């Protein structure tokens, strides 16, 4: 079930003035991604945007400073994904660094409480006797939960980055760069980034109040967590986010990350000395996320909060085991989804314009991964649903979209056209979550597919594989591969470089059950390449055109490099 994809080259851009020591290839890549100079291409912390402009920041810092001064009990309420877990750890660690003595944390259990600060979670939090709740990576859509907390006499500070609805919750203060009227230049902060900025502002406020004898604590020690949460949440890596992620990666590469992240890197069998954003996205983040998907994210947060490396390694081992279980569940659910699609007729179209999937046996913590997999294969917006708990008539859905189709706005449109069919929803342009009842599923499906039909053009339904053009023969070398690896961070909005070219297939074999290992020939050179999941049961043709990434081949060592094939077609 591969999408019909076309291989296209990025438009060339004026490279402008770049440092002479920068490889010309990197200068070309940076320019093609919109960077006009080294300050944008490799941003430093010194160029980080100041907190000024974040709406609600003054109220937030006063709340926190007052709570610290009066020794009030602050409870940081996290979320059950990687961004929410790292944001919770940043909040707890940062507030303690700034003098808070009574700081606790809590996180909803996906199967018990559902998403965010719900009335059910508030009831449980009452045992902690909190005086100030600080939500991280959620809260902007938690009207009922915040109202329940306020009814108990608690103060509530919301820190979030999700898009707000028509009305705001009744919190004492809200910090969210996507609030109407907010003047903060970067709207792409992750939840962990918002919490970090709140701490920066709080430290400045406390300096102005002469709370510290000096300049206060060094909050940059939290940037390892900020980097992991930012990359894992797939927010756009604009210049500001790249500065945050770059600084966090430097800490991790130097072995200065918190014990939990160092343990997760070890158990993922990655070399911390050359860790990349890709390693975070595909190895570290999933192991942390697995706790919130199948178990309880409390384990993940505890792993990030401990300073005992032995405890961290034990918890990382458990998270690794849970991640293995998650992968097995995901594989089965994805196979179920593909089988279901193969049984459906879409008329004259080979692929539907949008897809809604449901299975009564699916796990609600894994539906987002299934939606993502099917979206990648079909290049269509996909929503996957599962019962909120076994046998429940309440459904939880997770949506993934394609460029040009804003998925949260699509859910808002369906909700407006069919009032009451969606009980709750929220999210971003490319990903969203929602809840509805089983008896409303078909009505929702019709509304969602109808909205997609009215918005999606044939051009948008065509998947583009963007290439940075061909590499010269001399560029197939370890020095260039390492420059590409270290020239990031690459990611959402600042895509990892990939190139294209025509090659002879000299040898090939299947590795494992699904991966295709090939030896390619080009201009008299022999190059090793691999296509993960590329075995379709048919041998590759003798000559191919491919899009690929160039990476150091650490398995073979020395000067070896490897082409990682991301797209293949007959030449």
Domains observed in the chain: 5-32+468-570 (2.40.50.460), 54-321 (3.90.1640.30), 344-463 (3.10.310.30)
Nearest to 60 by CA among 122, 151, 135: 135
Alpha helices of 431-545 — where are they, by DSSP H? 441-455, 478-486
Query: Looking at residue 295, what is its pLDDT?
Result: 82
| Sign, Cα dihedral of 130, 132, 133, 134 | negative
Give the separation between CA 97 and CA 172, rounded to whole angstroms. Answer: 23
Query: Looking at residue 38, what is its pLDDT?
Result: 92
Give the separation between CA 178 and CA 172, rounded to whole angstroms. Answer: 18
Q: Walk across the sheet containing 394-400 and list its strands.
A: 355-358, 382-387, 394-400, 431-437, 424-427
What global pTM score does this model have? 0.92
Query: Looking at residue 213, what is its pLDDT?
Result: 82
CB 548 within 8 A of CB 503: no
Please give the C-alpha separations between residue 261 and each of 94, 217, 272, 313, 375, in angstroms, as whole numbers: 17, 21, 10, 9, 30
Query: Looking at residue 112, what is its pLDDT?
Result: 79
- Relative to beta strand 515-522, strand 394-400 is unpaired
- Write 393-396 long-range contacts (CB < 8 A, 24+): 393/437, 393/438, 393/439, 394/435, 394/436, 394/437, 394/438, 395/358, 395/435, 395/436, 395/437, 395/438, 395/441, 396/114, 396/364, 396/367, 396/433, 396/434, 396/435
Q: Walk across the sheet containing 173-175 and list its strands.
A: 103-106, 74-77, 132-136, 155-159, 173-175
Query: Looking at residue 428, what is its pLDDT?
Result: 81
In order, the DSSP letters of 49-86 are: PPSTT-TTHHHHHHHHHHHHHTT--EEEE--SSHHHHH
Residue 103 forms beta bridges with which residues? 74
Query: Looking at residue 165, what is its pLDDT?
Result: 87
Query: Looking at residue 536, what is its pLDDT?
Result: 85
Query: Looking at residue 111, what is its pLDDT?
Result: 75
Residuewise pLDDT in 10s, the chain (571 residues) = 444 578 899 987 777 688 989 999 999 999 999 998 999 999 999 999 999 999 999 999 999 999 999 999 999 999 989 999 999 999 999 999 999 999 999 999 877 787 889 999 999 999 999 999 999 999 999 999 999 999 999 999 999 999 898 899 999 999 999 999 999 999 999 999 999 999 999 999 999 999 988 889 999 999 999 999 999 998 999 999 999 999 999 999 999 999 999 999 999 999 999 999 999 999 999 999 999 888 889 999 999 999 999 999 999 999 999 999 999 999 999 999 999 988 875 544 567 899 999 999 999 999 999 999 999 989 999 999 999 989 999 999 999 999 999 999 999 999 999 999 999 898 888 889 999 999 999 999 999 999 999 999 999 998 889 999 999 999 999 999 999 999 999 999 999 999 999 999 999 999 988 899 999 999 889 999 999 988 988 999 999 999 999 999 987 877 899 999 999 999 9
Query: For 134, phi and psi rounded to 5 degrees?
Result: -120, 110
User: Token pair of 130, please?
Assistant: 């909190």
């Amino acid at each position: 079930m591969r999408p019909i994809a076309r291989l296209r080259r990025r438009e060339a851009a004026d490279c402008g003035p770049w440092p002479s020591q920068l490889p010309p290839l990197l200068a070309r890549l940076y320019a093609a991604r919109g960077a006009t100079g080294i300050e944008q291409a490799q941003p430093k912390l010194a160029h980080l945007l100041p907190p000024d402009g974040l709406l609600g920041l003054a109220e937030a810092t006063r709340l926190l400073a007052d709570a610290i001064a009066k020794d009030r009990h602050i409870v940081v309420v996290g979320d059950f994904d990687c961004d929410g877990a790292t944001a919770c750890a940043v909040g707890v660690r940062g507030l303690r660094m700034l003098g808070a003595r009574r700081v606790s944390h809590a996180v909803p259990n996906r199967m018990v409480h559902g998403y965010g600060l719900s009335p059910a979670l508030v009831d449980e939090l009452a045992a902690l006797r909190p005086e100030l709740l600080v939500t991280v990576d959620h809260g902007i859509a938690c009207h009922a939960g915040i109202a329940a907390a306020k009814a108990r006499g608690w103060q509530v500070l919301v820190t979030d980055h999700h898009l707000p609805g028509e009305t705001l919750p009744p919190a004492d203060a809200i910090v969210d760069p996507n609030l109407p009227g907010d003047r903060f230049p970067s709207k792409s902060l992750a939840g962990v980034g918002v919490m970090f900025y709140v701490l920066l502002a709080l430290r400045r406020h406390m300096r102005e109040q002469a709370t510290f004898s000096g300049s206060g604590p060094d909050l940059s020690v939290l940037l390892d967590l900020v980097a992991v949460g930012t990359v894992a949440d797939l927010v756009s890596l604009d210049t500001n986010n790249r500065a945050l992620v770059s600084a966090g990666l430097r800490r991790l590469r130097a072995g200065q990350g918190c014990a939990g992240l160092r343990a997760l890197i070890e158990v993922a069998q990655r070399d911390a000395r050359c860790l990349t954003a890709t390693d975070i996205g595909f190895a570290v983040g999933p192991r942390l996320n697995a706790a919130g998907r199948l178990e309880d994210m409390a384990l993940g947060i505890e792993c990030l909060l401990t300073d005992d490396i032995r405890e961290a390694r034990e918890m990382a081992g458990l998270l690794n085991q849970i991640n293995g279980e998650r992968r097995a569940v995901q594989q089965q659910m994805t196979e179920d989804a593909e089988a279901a699609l193969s049984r459906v007729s879409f008329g004259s179209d080979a692929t539907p314009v949008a897809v809604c999937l449901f299975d009564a046996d699916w796990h609600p913590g894994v539906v987002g991964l299934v939606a993502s997999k099917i979206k990648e294969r079909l290049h269509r917006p996909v929503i996957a649903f599962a019962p909120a708990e076994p046998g429940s008539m309440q459904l939880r859905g997770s949506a993934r979209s394609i460029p040009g189709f804003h998925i949260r706005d699509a859910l808002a449109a369906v909700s407006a056209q069919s009032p009451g069919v969606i009980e709750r929803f929220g999210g971003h342009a490319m990903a969203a979550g929602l809840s509805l009842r089983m008896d409303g599923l078909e009505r929702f499906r019709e509304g969602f597919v109808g909205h997609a039909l009215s918005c999606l053009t044939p051009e948008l339904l065509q998947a583009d594989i963007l290439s940075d053009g061909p590499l010269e023969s001399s560029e197939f070398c370890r020095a260039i591969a390492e420059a590409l690896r270290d020239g990031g961070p690459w990611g959402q909005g600042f895509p990892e470089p990939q190139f294209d070219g025509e090659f002879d297939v000299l040898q090939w074999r299947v590795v494992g059950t699904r991966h295709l290992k090939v030896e390619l020939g080009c201009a008299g050179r022999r190059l090793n390449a691999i296509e993960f999941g590329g075995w379709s049961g048919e041998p590759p043709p003798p000559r191919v055109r491919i899009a690929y990434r160039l990476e150091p081949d650490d398995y073979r060592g020395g000067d070896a490099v490897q082409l990682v094939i991301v797209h293949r077609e007959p030449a």
